Structure 1
Amino acid sequence: MSITMVRTKKGDISGIEKEGYSVFRGIPYAKPPVGDLRFREPVEVDSWEGIYKADKFKAACMQNFGNPGGFYDKEFYSEGSPKTSEDSLYLNIWTPAENKGEKLPVVLWIHGGGFFGGYGHEKEFDGEEYCKKGVILVTINYRLGVFGFLVHPWLIDESDRGTVGNYGILDQITALKWIYENIEEFGGDFENITIMGQSAGSMSVQTLVSSQLTGNMIKKAILQSGGGYASELNRDYKIEEAIKIGEQFIKACEVDSLEELRKLPAEFIQDKANLIIAQGFASGQGLVFIPVIDNYVLKGGYNELVDNGFIKDIPYIIGSTKNDILVSPEMLEKGNRGSIYDACINWSLKCEELGHNASYVYYFTRDLPGDEAGAFHSAELWYMFGTLKRCWRPMEDKDYELSKKMIEYWTNFMKSGNPNHEGFDEWKPCKKTEPFIMEFFC
């Protein structure tokens, strides 16, 4: 195994050389949020002496992998559940071995999982194919569930700003800053960073492009099956509502102070949070540990921020899948493609209305082989990452051709903000006068 060395602002890092690219696994971008740092904003990681060996993926953030045989467990976690830990704020980088002295475009991938699951090295994620196209991929872990989104009066009183929650989003912003400050040493262009996510990762992307805290670091964004304008998935979660959930959680933990809460075992906290999450679904509230309107990260509701032009004026790709969340076969029979599909079009038309560029909108309709799940929520991940060979499904030649096409469109967009490539069908922006939708099928 060959190694490659990079010098960052915090110290030297060694990665692993592969054929045509290098991979750096498990680079710390913030201090472990444990002990007194639990339920606090991420803290900048300390410098280190010697060489940090970035040769192993780190633990996933605290979560539950308790559904053996479930659809998504079979689809993405069939190799077994990873270790989980509070000490999980790490990122992974795939970079081409040779870049001919050019600064390469960079994409930050934010995983989905309902803000309570997922991690940055799931088997469907990989940067090899992007490296072949001259793009650097970075994936991250960020705090999930109660660890990432607890709101409670104790925490509000402790905060200098009098606002709390959104620790998981602040983790993402801290990772983005780390990339902005260090990616040049990996051959990347810090002035050409795309952020990209799916499901909760897509909702995270929308949060980041709607937040003043990300400044001018984001140059392009890709939102997959989450977010948009007038979307049923984007919930304006007010701090008053989040406090009620936080108080239920504290009651379940049976503690009388923050000090006691921070001394509890992480596994105990996770178990109590699971009860609150289950109650949220049972009562119809849905997800209860999610981004909150805190007047710091988010200064308003998602639609309100779009209406007022507070989203970043940058190029966007946005889209959904045929059998996405909130879509039923009966709806499809009636020609109703679902609220996420509509929200993607709405987003592009609102961007145009604001005087921004219209977005590139897509619709993934390939029914994946192997069962009757169709073009399910997250089905496109195998294709746009080029990891079809890792999937259990009996993929056909036409699936690999579709994957090549999607990788070409995605990486061209990361390079220039325009996905189009000679020899492929033209992908037009979705405008009021011509609401073009690129359909991906085979």
Structure 2
Amino acid sequence: MKRALITAMAIFALVGCSTTPDASPVLTIEGGQIQGAESEVKGVTVFKGIPYAAPPIGDLRWKEPQPVVPWEGVKVADKYGHPGYQVPHYPGGYTTEWGYGQEPAYSEDCLYLNVWTKAPGKTDAKLPVAVFIHGGGLREGWAFEPEFEGSEWGAKDVVLVTINYRLGMFGFFSHPDLIAENEHSSSGNYGIMDQIHALKWVKNNIAQFGGDPDNVMIFGQSGGGRSVRTLAGSPLAKGLFHKAVIMSASGLDPENATPAPTLEAQSENYKKIMDWAGLTDLDKMRSASTAEIFAITDIYNRVHGLRPAGIFAPVIDGYVCTTSIEDAAATGELADVPYMIGCTRDDRGNIKATIEAFCLSREEHGGKAYAYQFARPLPTDGRPGVLEGAFHSSDLWFVFKSLKNCWRPWTQGDWDLSEKMLTAWTNFAKYGEPGIGWEPYTAANPEYMVFKLDGDDNEASAMGEPVPTPRP
């Protein structure tokens, strides 16, 4: 009797230690084996901090991304990877909105991505894939800000990927010596090359997460939207994505846009900075500390009265970027995929004309583009000094249905609007069409989908003219 009891208890203990049906399976990807964890939504698994390239540090600073460094054993992917090195954030409008103040540690070792999926290990699931590129003027931001939490995308049967990439001086630095050492006589687009490398990683590995490598949507906002525009015109990204969404992209305002810098001009500009700091060759530049490189550019910009945002941009180098996005759109060289493009009502600058020109250009070349405006002024609770209106980036809470991560007093109408926007974006990832009664912008039908609430705070999105920005 005692032996039978011991045997039964042993069996029970073994069963208790075995993998449960809800546990994430162990996947084999580039670099080794990996296991995720349950996300904020039951049934959706998240894999955090997956390395998609070797750390771009030391001799790899300012070089194309290299293959990931293999690891031993099973990597438990339950912690996000470092964001790219950037300026610290301080209290104020945007920092209050996005909850800055508890930022993760920044690092040059930043080439990590995150995946949310309902089908880990199911290689025959072939779920559509969406790759999100965060904004921040190509000089700040990261892939796991609270507004980007991706569980709701996974719940909609889309495999969502968010990526970190090199920023600022580490992602967009050009120099004659770098051009001389590069086999393509190029430098300056390292952040864009990181994004392309991440898309190649998706192509090679996403089936392990239940995704379809032949059904990939890219989307990005602000600087991330500018990245999407750049990828759409890059020959190196050809075939790596099949739909694209451009959200409030920097550089779309025709009144404030600056031409894409040439490689020669950009590299000479940066050479002046390095020479001024005494870093006159690559050995010195690569051996300088992260903080030193970052401080040099900041001090130089302050001394010379330059805006940091003004020098961090993709450069036409003949390799990653062969022409401007405007020229690519006009000549039909843009990636021939469906597009969504839009902005918020109170976005910075006047980008309406550029959005409409982009859509008409796509129609002229036999493609489709869907225009939108987010026109919901965000609710406030009366606290002073917070952002008001349908400001730049305010639509992100809705596209990711991450309202619960924000302090604002949302109404039921906000939740309904968020569900509609999430449905449209995930439909586009699945089918190349957003549904919800949203038609392409054409010469015969020059209308936007306007996402808004009515006077009673009920969801009331409809096709029509954009809502004008109120003027004081």
Contact 1:41–1:170, Cα closer than 8 Å, also in 2: yes
Match of residue 259 from structure 1: 283
For 2:265 and 2:293, how far apart are their aligned partners in 1?
A: 20
The 10-residue stretch of structure 1 (220-229 or 261-270) with the greater mean CA deviation from structure 2: 220-229
Q: Deviations over 1:190-213 (max 9, x none)?
A: 000000000010010011110110
**Counterpart amino acid of residue 5 in structure 1:** V
Q: Deviations over 1:91-114 (max 9, x none)?
A: 000011587953100000000000
Residue from 71, 77, 82 that aligns with 1:48: 71
Match of residue 361 from structure 1: 371
Are residues 1:72 and 2:83 paired? no
Residue from 33, 36, 59 that aligns with 1:15: 36
Aligned partner of residue 124 in structure 1, secondary structure:
helix
Are residues 1:209 and 2:219 paired? no
Match of residue 424 from structure 2: 409
Displacement after TM superposition at 1:259 (Å): 0.4
Distance 1:351 1:118, change over 3 A: same
Distance 1:234 1:141, change over 3 A: farther
Aligned partner of residue 216 in structure 1, secondary structure:
coil
Match of residue 110 from structure 1: 133
For 1:284 and 1:128, how far apart are their aligned partners in 2?
A: 37
Match of residue 26 from structure 2: 5
Match of residue 442 from structure 2: 431
Displacement after TM superposition at 1:404 (Å): 0.5
Match of residue 374 from structure 1: 389
Equivalent runs, 1:267-286 vs 2, <5 Å: 267-278=291-302, 282-283=305-306
Distance 1:437 1:346, change over 3 A: same
Residue from 241, 248, 254 that aligns with 2:272: 248
Distance 1:122 1:181, change over 3 A: same
**Counterpart amino acid of residue 301 in structure 1:** S
For 2:144 and 2:50, how far apart are their aligned partners in 1?
A: 13
Equivalent runs, 1:323-334 vs 2, <5 Å: 323-326=346-349
Contact 1:361–1:436, Cα closer than 8 Å, also in 2: yes
TM-score by length of 1: 0.91
Displacement after TM superposition at 1:301 (Å): 1.8
Contact 1:61–1:144, Cα closer than 8 Å, also in 2: yes
Q: Deviations over 1:26-62 (max 9, x none)?
A: 0111100111000111111133332122110011111
Aligned partner of residue 214 in structure 2, secondary structure:
strand
Instruction: Specify every segment of 5 or more residues in structure 1 that has no aligned partner in the other structure, as ranges.
Output: 327-337
The 10-residue stretch of structure 1 (5-14 or 230-239) with the greater mean CA deviation from structure 2: 230-239
Q: Deviations over 1:301-345 (max 9, x none)?
A: 22111112110111111001111012xxxxxxxxxxx1x222111
Q: Deviations over 1:60-79 (max 9, x none)?
A: 1110114x212111111335
The 10-residue stretch of structure 1 (295-304 or 365-374) with the greater mean CA deviation from structure 2: 365-374
Task: Note the aligned Cα RMSD (angstroms).
Answer: 2.0
**Counterpart amino acid of residue 271 in structure 1:** A
Match of residue 331 from structure 1: none
Higher Cα radius of gyration: 2
Displacement after TM superposition at 1:268 (Å): 1.1
Equivalent runs, 1:131-210 vs 2, <5 Å: 131-210=154-233
Residue from 283, 291, 310 that aligns with 2:333: 310
**Counterpart amino acid of residue 389 in structure 2:** G
Q: Deviations over 1:144-194 (max 9, x none)?
A: 001001111111111112111100000000000000100001000000000
Contact 2:176–2:268, Cα closer than 8 Å, also in 1: no
Equivalent runs, 1:87-106 vs 2, <5 Å: 87-97=109-119, 101-106=124-129
The 10-residue stretch of structure 1 (218-227 or 248-257) with the greater mean CA deviation from structure 2: 248-257
The 10-residue stretch of structure 1 (51-60 or 1-10) with the greater mean CA deviation from structure 2: 1-10
For 2:110 and 2:211, how far apart are their aligned partners in 1?
A: 24
For 2:178 and 2:123, how far apart are their aligned partners in 1?
A: 50
For 1:194 and 1:229, how far apart are their aligned partners in 2?
A: 21
The 10-residue stretch of structure 1 (406-415 or 227-236) with the greater mean CA deviation from structure 2: 227-236
Give % identity: 40
Residue from 104, 107, 121 that aligns with 1:82: 104
Equivalent runs, 1:211-250 vs 2, <5 Å: 211-226=234-249, 231=254, 232-233=256-257, 235-250=259-274
Residue from 17, 26, 33 that aligns with 2:49: 26
Displacement after TM superposition at 1:9 (Å): 3.5
For 1:219 and 1:228, how far apart are their aligned partners in 2?
A: 23
Match of residue 334 from structure 1: none
For 2:253 and 2:422, how far apart are their aligned partners in 1?
A: 28
The 10-residue stretch of structure 1 (381-390 or 50-59) with the greater mean CA deviation from structure 2: 50-59
Aligned partner of residue 59 in structure 1, secondary structure:
coil
Q: Deviations over 1:366-403 (max 9, x none)?
A: 10111562110100000000111111111111111110
The 10-residue stretch of structure 1 (10-19 or 196-205) with the greater mean CA deviation from structure 2: 10-19
For 2:308 and 2:71, how far apart are their aligned partners in 1?
A: 44
Count of matched residue pairs: 423
Aligned partner of residue 178 in structure 2, secondary structure:
helix
Distance 1:392 1:310, change over 3 A: same
Displacement after TM superposition at 1:235 (Å): 3.5
Aligned partner of residue 107 in structure 1, secondary structure:
strand
For 1:285 and 1:385, how far apart are their aligned partners in 2?
A: 29
For 2:343 and 2:299, how far apart are their aligned partners in 1?
A: 31
TM-score by length of 2: 0.86
